[in-house]
Structure 1
Amino acid sequence: MPKGYRLTASTGIHKGDRDYQQDQVVLLRHARVSGCVLAVLADGMGGRSGGRKASDQVMMTARQLFERYAPETDDAVVALTQLVQEAHTVIRLTAVSSEEEPHSTVAAFLINPGGDCYWAHAGDSRIYHYRGNKLIKRTLDHSYVQALVDRGELTEEQANAHPQSNILLGCLGTENDPPVSTHFIPQLHAGDILMACSDGIWHYFTSDEIGSVLATLSAREATEFLIEKARSRGHGSGDNLSLVVVKLEPLGT
């Protein structure tokens, strides 16, 4: 039976108002299996080269694992969890051999040929799942302000403007093992949209605004628009920005 959709995708990255680019983002198509893709985003932290080293390790680990991944037999959740844990271990080893303290977030989603989708994240880089412009689900940050939201002490809006919104409770490269939150979507449909982004993007938008942009524009236009708009809303003090958008376009459009 035909799936009824085709994947269109785009990645976007910008230095923002920072001196160095420490974010990284990649969209990988499986070398052997059509319709299988892995999107990975990492927001590196820890000084000029430390953060870049950390996000480099996430990308390298992702490529190696995806190269070995067999969609028909392998467990996607195990693969994604392994990605987070292995990258964390390598970053820790990098820290031992250098003077820096490299840390990184990670947000990754994997779409199998059958249309089932899995995601994993650690830190405050996010993944959003929309159906049209309606938010179905998004990741919850491993952060101090998200913990306050969970306890009912802050609203989402207050959390976004909170002065300590950048304090993470877990990420890759710290002394403790990173928290890994996973999610499973049994079946994606035509009209579904997935986006992973760093806090340099999501900090400047409501979920409704993001949904409206993603539903209205093509994947490429949406990435360009969100970067441009986040840049202007940052008023000269914006973070590195990165995102990846995958749209399931109905066939015949």
Structure 2
Amino acid sequence: MAIKVETCAAKHQGDRVEQQDRVAIFGHPAQPGALMAVLADGMGGHTGGAMAAEQVLFKAKQNFEHFSHGSETPEHLITSIIQDSHTVIKLSRFTSEQDPHSTAVVFMLQKQRADWGHCGDSRFYHFRGDQLVYRSPDHSLVAELERKGRLTKAEAEVHPHRNVLLSCLGDEREPRVSLGGVSPLVGGDSFLMCSDGVWAYFDDDELGSVLATQNARAACQTLISRARERARGQGDNLSIAVIRLVDENTDAPRTEPPPDAGFPSLNE
């Protein structure tokens, strides 16, 4: 059964003075049907975070354009993107007065397989229908304490150090890279990438419901709109990418985006 791909990437500045998130989806120049989605949440003071996040997108596009299925594995490509971005961000300290850092989520879709990797606390989700299949582990202090049973989920959500990262790009230590993948793919598979400015306001069930019932553009706009409302004027930068696989002989959800909530038009 043929499967069509819906994609949408979007971002919103939130209530911050600068947009330091970056997100993009792009195709491979020589391999039809292959695409990559990249999301980065920059940190490091005025302009520093934005510069770091921009480097992640630049290296992802550069490395992906040179990817050859016969000579390199997806895992190697994704790892190299994160590690190369880390190196460039560290070197940028010598040419700027900032201390730039960034998270990274990298997703690659090919025929009958999808692969991903991440570093930091920007998240990657895989849903099949409305059921969660995979959620990336946060590389944060609070997430580590929760995994070790030293914090409950409720305690982790309100912990004063919940934004402290144990691994990110640009740090003195080499980045921790968590990898995943799935094959074969089926209609109903959805992949979501988002910064903490989005995922902090949702549980897995709500995310799965939105992705299962709305097309990619509507899902992005719904999640940004709800996150902005729930932030109550104290929201972080928001960035999101959605990739949905839909059986061609099945009508995609006809859900329209909610009324504009004051953010720019989404870029598909």
TM-score by length of 2: 0.91
Distance 1:228 1:99 in 2: 35
Shift of 1:30: 1.1
Secondary structure at the aligned position of 1:79 is classed as helix
Q: Percent identity?
A: 44
Identify which of 68, 88, 91 aligns with 1:90. 88
Q: Which residue matches 1:135?
A: 132
Distance 1:170 1:81 in 2: 14
Secondary structure at the aligned position of 2:72 is classed as coil
Contact 1:71 1:112 in 2 (8 A): no
Identify which of 224, 230, 250 aligns with 2:247. 250
Distance 1:36 1:156 in 2: 37
Distance 1:190 1:128 in 2: 16
RMSD of aligned Cα (Å): 1.0
Asked if 1:53 corresponds to 2:29, the answer is no
Q: Which residue matches 1:204?
A: 201
Give 5+ residue unaligned stretches, structure 2: 252-268
Distance 1:160 1:124 in 2: 13
Asked if 1:149 corresponds to 2:115, the answer is no
Distance 1:141 1:154 in 2: 14
Distance 2:84 2:50 in 1: 17
In structure 2, what residue type is equivalent to 1:135?
L
Q: Which residue matches 1:7?
A: 5
Asked if 1:195 corresponds to 2:222, the answer is no
In structure 2, what residue type is equivalent to 1:151?
K
In structure 1, what residue type is equivalent to 2:242?
V
Instruction: Give the paired residue count.
Output: 250
Query: CA offsets per residue over residues 36-58 of structure 1, 9 Å max, x none?
Result: 11110000000110001100110
In structure 2, what residue type is equivalent to 1:229?
R
State how 1:1-253 maps to structure 2 within 5 Å: 2=1, 4-113=2-111, 115-252=112-249, 253=251
Q: Which residue matches 2:255?
A: none
Shift of 1:71: 2.9
Distance 2:94 2:234 in 1: 32
Contact 1:36 1:71 in 2 (8 A): no
Query: CA offsets per residue over residues 63-96 of structure 1, 9 Å max, x none?
Result: 1001101234420000000000000000000012
